[in-house]
Structure 1
């Protein structure tokens, strides 16, 4: 059974008016993952999962920059065997698939990346009296390192 880690760990990064927001969010996420025991990730599958998380963070933050006037906050929630990433912005427009593009052309593939790499994803309104939305995604925790396994 995989170790779920301590429940309900939360980190928040406020992003109003910041520069280099995508790299800042990736660095913030990498530090949280390291603190929560996702890094160093032992084994190929675990390392790939961490890289997937960083790519997913890049995608949702970039989409907020390109389509929603920029992200306002990044929230990471670790617990119950998964990581939940939430990016809020001031746009009421929810993500929607565009006309399919050739995979050979750059750009326009962010939602496809979410579909393929995230265990689940979606968006919701911020709540009563607030303008904007939260785009969220969830990724399962990498498998726990096995000790004493035969070689």
Structure 2
């Protein structure tokens, strides 16, 4: 896990109070989740639509289908983690560039997500960040400047 990478411009998403969905160049989308109900399916549907728009879906090959399913699973895990451990997510950002898809979930939580160690496959619960770690190229946490909260980000390889 990398937690020291400096944020790129726009990594923290839009300013609070801006439009719910932002698509400046077609490769960057932000969904405001603060106070929304059913945030996990909402986040999955939002991400699925981005994958359709970017040509990952409908999947033309098994590899593309698997890559899209991995993205949707990671979105579910990150948003669920924010719901369970950080009073819910504020926003989801999905972006793609240079054969990498980046997911960012911003919340007000102070905790530090980490895979449960040792990982016990047969034990219920506690698998979210282990799944993220296994499916992603990299992931980490960026603290929000001058406010309570953080952005948990994950990067996955785009299908070939």
Bigger radius of gyration, 1 or 2? 1
Structure 1 residue runs of 4 or more that deviate by more than 3 Å after TM superposition: none
Tell me the SS of whatever aligns to 2:43.
helix
TM-score (norm 2): 0.80
Deviations 1:88-140 (CA, angstroms, capped at 9, x unpaired): 0001222123343531122101111011101111111012x121000000011
Who is 1:134 aligned against? Answer: 151
Matched with 1:102 is 120
Instruction: Specify the alignment match of 2:70 in structure 1.
Output: 52
Provide the aligned C-alpha RMSD in A.
Answer: 1.4
Distance in structure 1 (CA, Å) of the matches to 2:47 and 2:156: 13
Q: What SS class does the counterpart of residue 76 from structure 1 fall into?
A: strand
Conserved 8 A contact 1:8-1:78: no
Contact 1:22 1:58 in 2 (8 A): yes
* Count of matched residue positions in the alignment of Structure 1 and Structure 2: 136
Q: Where does the alignment leave 5 or more consecutive residues of structure 1 unmatched?
A: 1-6, 144-151
> Any gaps of 5 or more consecutive residues in structure 2?
1-24
Q: TM-score, normalised by structure 1?
A: 0.85
Match of 1:14 among 3, 7, 32: 32
SS at match of 2:114: coil
